[in-house]
Structure 1
Amino acid sequence: MVFDRVIRQVQFLGGLSLLWLLLVCPVQAKAVPDVVDVTIGLMQLPKEGQETYRLIHQGGPFPYEKDGVVFGNRERLLSAKPRGYYHEYTVKTPGERSRGARRIVCGGLEVSKPQNCYYSDDHYASFREIVDKK
């Protein structure tokens, strides 16, 4: 009986402590990066990535039906832009039956003349901006 009473008091005080923490110490929201801060050179991409990049700049044809579809940026790792700004393309993964995890996402007003492109080898968990040093 006494044990149950002690447990109820601890629960009550724990609830009050949590409420106090929430009111006095507001949680800081994690800042979303404005742009990817890591780059990768075009020649550092796997050969399949270099080929996909070349196809993007020549306007296709693309081997996968979903290549060129609008990328929603739901992960919010890329700069916030209006819907339709980003498009995604599959980078073939040798030995993979499906599209695999590798993608290139490009942004810009003209699809075949993107302002910037990003490479992801982990299905949008991270991005590296592609730098084409010509």
Structure 2
Amino acid sequence: MNRAAPTLAALLLSGLLTALLGACDLPQDSQVTQSQPTQSQPAPSRPAPPASTRDPHSGLRWIAARDLPREGQTLLTRIAQGGPYRYSKDGSTFGNRERLLPRQSSGYYREYTVPTPGENDRGARRIVCGGQPRTTECYYTPDHYASFRRIHP
């Protein structure tokens, strides 16, 4: 029996495991200490992100309201105030035909246009809200309903 074969297999397996573990995004001591504020390094002024990167209700990733385009932030304020809106279709029923948002009864979701500077038409950016009041549950799509992110207030 050839003893080199099991040794070669063990080396290959060890190398494969090392490569796989190296590809994992595991915290290392040096990374942890660098991200913690020290006396000479002030704590960040922005509030911490949500505990989870995904909304537990929809499964979609969060986007902070402050991280929306400026026009989206302004639109959220207008939605909360009940208008006025720039486009006649704003506030119309969103059918969720793509089924990317949680299923709700017809008329639950309303869509609003996030103006895009330089566009001659409504562009692709939208905010879709549902619930009572209408700003209870809002989502942002930068690509005309191909993807959504849940807006975190």
1:116 aligns to what? 137
What amino acid maps onto 2:140 in structure 1?
Answer: Y
What amino acid maps onto 2:144 in structure 1?
Answer: H
Per the alignment, do residues 99 and 36 of structure 1 end up closer, same or farther by CA in structure 2, a change over 3 Å counting? farther
* Cα deviation digits, residues 54-88 of structure 1 (max 9, x gap): 10000000010000000000000000000000000
1:79 aligns to what? 102
Per the alignment, do residues 36 and 87 of structure 1 end up closer, same or farther by CA in structure 2, a change over 3 Å counting? farther
**What are structure 1's unaligned runs of at least 5 residues?**
1-33
Query: How does the TM-score come out when normalised to structure 1?
Result: 0.70
Percent same amino acid at aligned positions? Answer: 57
The answer to whether 1:58 aligns with 2:109 is no
Task: Choose which of 70, 93, 96 in structure 1 pairs with 2:93.
Answer: 70
Q: What is the distance in 2 between the residues matched to 1:36 and 1:74? A: 17
What amino acid maps onto 2:83 in structure 1?
Answer: G
**Contact 1:93/1:102 (CA < 8 Å) preserved in 2?**
yes
The answer to whether 1:89 aligns with 2:112 is yes
What amino acid maps onto 2:108 in structure 1?
Answer: Y
Q: What is the distance in 2 between the residues matched to 1:109 and 1:81? A: 13
Q: What is the distance in 2 between the residues matched to 1:48 and 1:36? A: 25
1:131 aligns to what? 152
**Contact 1:85/1:109 (CA < 8 Å) preserved in 2?**
no
Cα offset, 1:35, TM superposition: 1.4
Q: Which has the higher contact order (CA 8 A, sep 6+)?
A: 1
